[in-house]
Amino acid sequence: MSLTKDGGPLSASPVDTVNYDLSGPAHRLFFQRFPRRVRAVLGGETVADTREGRLLHETGLLPQLYIPAGDVRPGLLEAAAHTTHCPFKGQAVYWHIRAGNRRVENGVWAYPEPIEGAGWLRGHLALYWHAADAWFDEDEQVHGHLRDPYHRVDVRRTSGRLRVLVEGVPVAETDRPMLLTETGLPNRYYVPAGDVRQSLLAASPKRTVCPYKGTASYWSFTADGRQVADVAWSYPRPLEEATRVGGHLCFAHRSVTTELDGHPVAAPPPP
């Protein structure tokens, strides 16, 4: 994400505060070895197991893992009639994948004859994330997608009096917020749960998964007969990069106003 989006060197609009020129096409590809073992499991069977996977960083897209063809279990793929064309990589052919009692149509693709400049794709296969029931980075299951080596999360204590209002109603006030900075995303303030008026919030059924922070639970605002869905979220069991925001809530919604030391904080868009 950090290379291919939001001003990164492989994004559609890289920053101009550099002392070099990037020559070549506006749509850029960067193929790099992933440093750890990756496994994909479907229908209770390991369908791919590789220590030689490579991430394709491509302008405007999340990195995609490509696996040497020999690291996908033989006999599990069925040739599909589906094809697609990419002007930057070539003609893609597809396979259905079957394992255990599961079958995923068009779940695997490859570029048997990639165009000039992308020849290193030859001999590699790619699986859609949904083409496996579970993915493992070494022996740890990962959710959402593999972590980009160029993406990071930092959490820092910060000073100042933070005040959060929803539709003009104060819902949180703290002098001990945590500031979470994540590559390519706006800064987010997290408020200790003890400094939130919990009586104004109700648990929401919404859940989202971040490969870098964990599974987020959401909260809706409810007061005086008014309800605004999903104004805040928290990470009950954050991953290691985000452990310091465990027990904290983050507010982001068009109905939310955030003030720091009495001054409005520019509102980043909700995730």
DSSP codes of every residue in 115-151 = PTT-GGGTTEEEE-GGGSSEEEETTEEE-SSPPPTT-
pTM of the model: 0.87
**Region 198-212 average pLDDT:** 96
Residues pairing with 57 in the sheet: 30
**Region 106-132 average pLDDT:** 97
CATH fold for the domain made of 153-264: 2.170.150
Confidence at 270, pLDDT banded by 50, 70, 90: confident
The CATH architecture one would assign to domain 29-142 is Beta Complex (2.170)
Nearest to 115 by CA among 87, 143, 93: 87
Q: Which of 11-15, 26-30, 178-182 has the lowest average pLDDT?
A: 11-15
CB 236 within 8 A of CB 217: yes
Residues of the chain with CATH 2.170.150.40: 29-142, 153-264
Q: Is the pLDDT of residue 204 over 90?
A: yes
Cα separation, 228 vs 215, in Å, equals 21
Measured from the Cβ of residue 60, the count of other Cβ atoms closer than 10 Å reads 12
CB 197 within 8 A of CB 170: yes
CA angle 175, 178, 181 (to 5 degrees): 145
Largest Cα–Cα distance of the chain, in whole Å? 64
Instruction: Render pLDDT for 51-70 as a digit per residue (tens, 0 to 9).
Output: 999 999 999 999 999 999 99
